[in-house]
Structure formats: C-alpha cells, structure tokens
Chains A and B, each alone.
Chain A
C-alpha cells in the first residue's frame, strides 16, 4: 500500500482565450497524467484531451485485467515491468490516434501534444514523458527532474553546443523535437525510482517552468502541506509574471509507503523496544 494525497489546477493564463492543457488524476490507482496541446483553431485542446483520455482509459483497463505485457499495443520493453509497459503502450496508442486524426481531418491538421505520466505504486514510481511538460521529484531538500525536455535548446545543451544559461533564454526552447501526433511512432523517455515516505511530485506544463525557476518552485512547494493552496500559489506566480501561456500543475504527496521490502527484521523488531 502507498498512501497518497493529490491536487491539481489548470489555468488558461492571462493572454490566451482557450486552455489547451489537460490533466487527469486517479489517486486510487496512483496514476497522474498531464498534456499541453498545440495546433490551430481548437485542435490543441482536442489533442491534449484525446491523449490524456486514451492513456488513462487504457492503462486503467489493462491494470484491472492484469493484461500480460506482450499483449499490449506495440512491442514490449523488457527492461521494464508490466506497469512500465502499460504506460509506454498507452502513450504509443495515443500518439497513433492523434497522428491518424491529424492526417484524416483538415481541422486537426498539424495538431499534437506533449505528455507526462506518473504512476506511484508501493514498489516503484514510474515517470514517462514526451515534449516539454515536466515531472519533478522533491525529496528532502532537493528538487530533481524525472522527465527529459525534448526541445532544440535542451538538445543543444546536452550536446555541449550551448551553456545552461543560453539554453534558459534560447528562443529554440519552444521548438519541440518530439511530441505526440506528428510522427507515426514516438520515442518516450521513461524512468523508475523507488518510492519513499514524504516524497512529493509535481507534474507541470511549460506555462509554469517558462516563468518560474526550479529553485522558486521548490520554495513554493516547501511552503506547507495544503496541496490545493500550493497549486494555486504556483499558478498565481506564473500569472503575476505575465501568464502568457496556459499553466497546469498537479501535485502528488506520498504520506507513507508500506511494503514488504524491509524483511524479517522489520517484522520482528517492533515487538521489542528499540532505540533509534
């Protein structure tokens, strides 16, 4: 078992009439999804919603039926367990659907979306992403990315062509190198870590990270325990700085992890008094 609390807000910002972000939270299953759509007219809104719905519906269904990993959409990644493959498969399926839609209908031409998926389970935490929506881990006093950014500036930085500072201000950071919907297949970055008591996770779109630095985000996260309030504070911070884009934040706190990994000593020791 893992005890979770979560809260999330999506806000259109101050300069856009519509909100192309979309997110879903399922705390009973520990499944959290976020998406930032793009495309003319209302296609961006469609893409992000379609992606989140498809991923959530399929992963939930596979979890319920405990579908073996080799019966999923597309090929199996043997370096991952079953849940990791559910997530990969769900994202690939969403990509294919959006890709087909954008080729089929004129009004959806060129639409796409970023995606971020976080699954918190008793033995592992899995994060997967495509595009520039982020997933962060806050553990102790540290902030750590659990997602990769797929934009030109991030790739230039990784290749050593530009500095961290240049990447931060580069206009190329808005040029994505991967998303859902533009190609028939998609490359997904996926990570697995072990959950620990008091771990906190943030899923967010670039409306936040464009305007608020990692350190500032951590400052706000550390303000307290009221998740709803902290989500609102993060949105407010982005809007106070112009709110030029849609902003979505989704916060997940692990209250407690209880699992079998600590072994026989753990089961015996509570029967004796023990000084820590």
Chain B
C-alpha cells in the first residue's frame, strides 16, 4: 500500500496510508488529508489510484501544487516524489511490492482519466494560457446557392451529404446529364471534404476542375454541372 507522509518544518506530522481509491487534500475538514494552513486552498488537490498508478491533480488551487519543485496540473506520482502544498511537504512512498509492479507495468501503459478531471485540467490550462476554451464547439458546414435557381441554404448536418438527381440525395439537383449522385460532402476528422463520385459531370471548386477529393475552405465556390453554390461554416449550437 502506498503512503503519504506529511512534513512541516522538517518534522513528520502525520502519515496517511492509501486505503481508498482517491485521497483529497486541502484545508477543509472534509478532506482525507487536512492541512490547516492559509496557504492551502479549501480543496487543493487530489490523488487518484488507477490500477497500479497514482495520479495527482491540482484542483485549481490558489497557490498551486508542486511536485519536486515544479508546478503541475496533473502528474503521475513516482516513488519518493515530493509534493509541495503551501508550506507543507507531502512525500509519496510506494510499498516495495508496488514499486516492482510499476517497473513491470512500464511507463507507457495507457490509462483513463474521468471526464470531470480532464475537463477541469484542460479548462485550467486554457485559462493560464489565455486561450478561450472554444474548440469544444463544433463547426457546422453550410452550402448556399448562388445560381439563382434555388434560394436558400442547406445545413450539412449529416456525416455524408449526397448531391445529385437521386430522390435520396440530401441536395437534389436537376439537369439532363446530372447523375443520381454527382458528388458528396463528408464531415471528416480534418474537416468537410467534397468528393467527385461520377466522372460524367464536371465539378469545379473556385473555377478549377477537381477529381477525387478536395477539403473545403470557407467561401469556396462549388460548381456541379450548371449549379453553383458556396460553402461556409459557422459555430454549431450543439456541444461536442
């Protein structure tokens, strides 16, 4: 079993065995490890046990949490790590058995962080860097007809939007030589891609004929046969 040894002014104050899956550290009495010092936040940090691994997470404390004198947001604890919380030192010690296990388990082992924990961590880092935490909003692609034949816009909410004459097409186009599916727009990890699916109809993006696939940028003009529309994206209301 791992232990946390709390040291203040070079004196050992108390030793806590790791008997639960998670130990909370802070000034409030509700914590597992209570440190009564004004430099310590009410709920300051937490250590979670996940399999054979212990993860220390700073809970957006006012004065920060340090491991071996470096400030951390989250840290995988090693045997003999020195954690600094306010003016108190917490030494992390694993049993010999656990140390041996860790060596076998190797350091590249994958582990999982629960959602609340990782959101907390990312939000904190975003705040520190002054980055607005906006990228968790999805961008939604929209096509807007500019050929006069059809008014309005079509939102590309589907993963795959088929464009052509077929009744099942999300975007139905007319015209003598229009195939059932002339092209598709798919929502992929790297963005929206336009793909030509039939060699019979000319597909142009910004006046250049394309074959295969083309990743769409805002305000690209797309021509399929005699139909013309523009692509753009905007922030979607739905959260990821």
Contact = CB atoms under 8 A, between A and B. Distances in A.
Interface in B107-127: 108-115, 118, 121-122, 125-126
A192 B200 contact: no
B213 interface: yes
Nearest to B189: A145
A109 to B, nearest CB: 9
Interface in B191-220: 193, 195, 197-200, 212-213
B30 interface: no
Contacts of B189: 144-148, 189, 191
A270 interface: no
B200 A262 contact: yes
Interface centre among A38, A161, A210, A263 (most CB of B within 10 A): A263
A262 B166 CA distance: 10
B212 A38 contact: no
A177 B108 contact: no
A232 interface: no
Interface in A60-81: 79-80
Interface centre among B164, B195, B197 (most CB of A within 10 A): B197
A191 B111 CA distance: 25
A148 B193 CA distance: 16
A152 B212 CA distance: 34
Contacts of B74: 152, 172, 175
Contacts of A146: 188-189
Contacts of A36: 110
A84 B159 contact: yes
Q: Is the interface of B mostly helix, strand, loop or mixed?
A: loop
Interface stretch (B1-9, B60-68, B128-136): B128-136
B158 interface: yes
Contacts of A145: 188-190
Contacts of B106: 15-16, 244
Interface centre among B157, B178, B189 (most CB of A within 10 A): B189
Range for the number of chain B residues in contact with chain A:
35 or more
A233 interface: no
A4 to B, nearest CB: 19
Nearest to A187: B240
Contact of A261 (B133, B135, B164): B164
A79 B159 contact: yes
B113 A183 contact: no
Interface string B96-113: 000000000010111111
A176 B110 contact: yes
Interface stretch (B81-89, B141-149, B179-187): B179-187
Interface of A: 15-16, 36, 38-40, 79-80, 84, 110, 112, 124, 126, 132, 139-140, 144-148, 152, 155-156, 158-161, 171-172, 174-179, 182-183, 187, 189-194, 196, 206, 210, 244-245, 260-263, 265-266
Interface of B: 50-52, 74, 76, 106, 108-115, 118, 121-122, 125-126, 129, 131, 133, 135-136, 157-160, 164-166, 177-181, 184, 186-190, 193, 195, 197-200, 212-213, 240
Given A159-B125, A182-B112, 19 more contacts: A40-B51, A79-B157, A145-B189, A148-B189, A152-B118, A155-B118, A159-B126, A159-B131, A161-B125, A171-B76, A175-B74, A175-B112, A175-B118, A179-B112, A192-B159, A192-B187, A196-B195, A263-B179, A263-B180
